[in-house]
Homo-oligomer: A and B are copies of this chain.
Amino acid sequence: MKQIRVCVVGYGNVGQEVVECIRHAPDMELAGVVEILDVEDPRVPIVKSVDCLEAVDVAILAIPSRAVPKVAPEYLAKGINTVDGFDIHGDSMAALRKQLDECARQHGSTAVIGAGWDPGTDSIVRMLFMAIAPQGITYTNFGPGMSMGHSVAVRAIPGVKDAISFTLPAGFGQHNRDVYVEVEDPSRFDEIAQAIQQDPYFVNDKTRVTLVDNVDKLKVMGHGVLIERIGASGTAHNQRLELKLTLSNPSATAQIMVAAARASTRLEAGCYTLPEIPPIDLLPGDRESLIHDLV
């Protein structure tokens, strides 16, 4: 069977894990890593442009969310499918889907956006919970754990040397943010703290910003989510639905991106969020066997 040739764009925490996941995937091979920064890893071919790689079917974009709207179209226009972990819910997600859908259809390629655990597999579970119990309320509770999207957003703020942002569950879908920053000029800390609190990633949550000498020793990749729904189906009003995950975050994100890369090769041209894809297409192997063993 023909292997799916995948390139990984970006070689940070997630990109490195994507490479690991591709090695374990029975139906994939690594075409190479595209990284514009100077990084070295003797185990993988690292190039500056995808044009240096041959016959790439899918590009997994392990890059900050905000870079996705610019980078994804470059690949889609070459007929290469893209997968990203774009994590800004709501209007931004809808806008990205519209933008990439037009581009992908024009070039006969496929984009899967928001392919992480939230947005991503959690989005599917939220929809399943609504299908099982259409009336009711769903609470999505994150953490405690480091949010990669939020941490990257803080690091992009001028004057910040390094930062991590912890998501603290405050119950019933409410969250607090706990941000630790190293700054270039400590006298500008108040100004930087304010810029963080006003960033769209943080503006709706109670956010504490703490100045530290070294964020490295606070770094941990564990994260989690609890999705709770109390709902009604038909005449029954005590339907209780719960999903609980505790995960190493970059590994889970990487693995879901790899599953989405697989699915992208089975879809018509266009742009998709995960709930728009048949879940069975995320898995390797023969459809009949999967149905026999897992349905």
Contacts and interface: CB of A to CB of B under 8 A. Distances in A.
A255 B131 contact: yes
Interface string A241-262: 1111111101110111001000
Interface residues of A, number: 68
B245 A233 contact: no
B128 A282 contact: yes
A291 B273 contact: yes
Interface stretch (A85-93, A103-111, A149-157, A167-175): A85-93
Contact of A283 (B97, B127, B246, B288): B127
Interface of A: 17-18, 20-21, 24-25, 89-91, 93-94, 97, 114, 117, 119, 121, 123-128, 130-135, 221, 233-236, 238-248, 250-252, 254-256, 259, 273-280, 282-283, 287-288, 290-292, 294-295
Nearest to A117: B132
Contact of A235 (B17, B123, B128, B131): B17
Contacts of A125: 125, 128, 243
A245 B251 contact: no
Contact of A292 (B94, B233, B274): B94
Given A125-B125, A127-B279, A276-B278, 20 more contacts: A89-B295, A94-B288, A124-B124, A127-B294, A128-B279, A131-B256, A131-B279, A131-B283, A132-B255, A133-B252, A233-B247, A233-B255, A234-B251, A234-B255, A236-B248, A236-B251, A236-B252, A239-B246, A242-B244, A273-B280
Contacts of A221: 236
A242 B239 contact: no
Contacts of A117: 132
23 contacts: A17-B234, A21-B234, A90-B292, A93-B292, A94-B288, A119-B295, A123-B295, A124-B279, A126-B294, A127-B279, A130-B283, A131-B256, A132-B245, A234-B248, A236-B248, A239-B252, A240-B244, A240-B246, A241-B245, A275-B291, A275-B295, A276-B287, A276-B291
Contact of A133 (B130, B234, B255, B291): B255
Contacts of A123: 294-295
